[in-house]
Structure 1
Amino acid sequence: MNHFNRLVSEQMVTMEKLLYLQAELERCQQIEAELQNLQNATNLESVQTDIQQMKKELKEIQQIFEKQTEEVINSYLETNLTHSM
């Protein structure tokens, strides 16, 4: 029985190590997932910043386009008015 008890005792120590390592592995995997989420969040912020910048540029270009359209219309009207006189 001594041999049996020693084997069981060794097996219990091994099981404790196994459970500890499993718990540590799960904890590390959780940390890894959180870090990946944080990295994704950082990338998200970067993309959102890019989107805001593009929206600003788009608005500026739209304003320029509208101004150019007005100038084209005014030029057309002026040309037609001078030719019709």
Structure 2
Amino acid sequence: MDHFNKLVSEQMVTMDKLLYLQSELERCQKIKAELQALQNETDLESIQSDIQKMKKELKEIQYIFEKQTEEVINSYREMNITTAL
């Protein structure tokens, strides 16, 4: 049970990161649209770079989250099998 709780706790931390990064990505994309409207190329390039970095990080965190989900499911199944025996 401790292992399961630890996995769930780790997954919640990852989910917080994921949600934060998604909101930051949305915020930056909004800024990008505003900068495009103002035709400010220098700032636009910088924000595009930030967006690309965040998209990459978001993809990595999503992958970690999926793996953690698999671990949580497997741990839960093992816990139920052990208790059933």
- Per the normalisation by structure 1, the TM-score is 0.53
The residue number in structure 1 matching 2:57 is: 57
Cα offset for 1:62? Answer: 0.3
Which stretches in structure 2 are left out of the alignment for 5+ residues?
1-37
Q: Distance in 2 between matches of 1:48 and 1:62?
A: 21
Q: Which has the higher contact order (CA 8 A, sep 6+)?
A: 2
Structure 1 stretches (4+) deviating beyond 2 angstroms? Answer: none
RMSD (Å) for aligned C-alpha atoms: 1.4
Aligned residues: 48
Identity of matched residues, %: 71
User: Which has the greater radius of gyration?
Assistant: 1
Which stretches in structure 1 are left out of the alignment for 5+ residues?
1-35
- Per the normalisation by structure 2, the TM-score is 0.53
Q: Distance in 1 between matches of 2:84 and 2:71?
A: 20
The residue number in structure 1 matching 2:70 is: 70
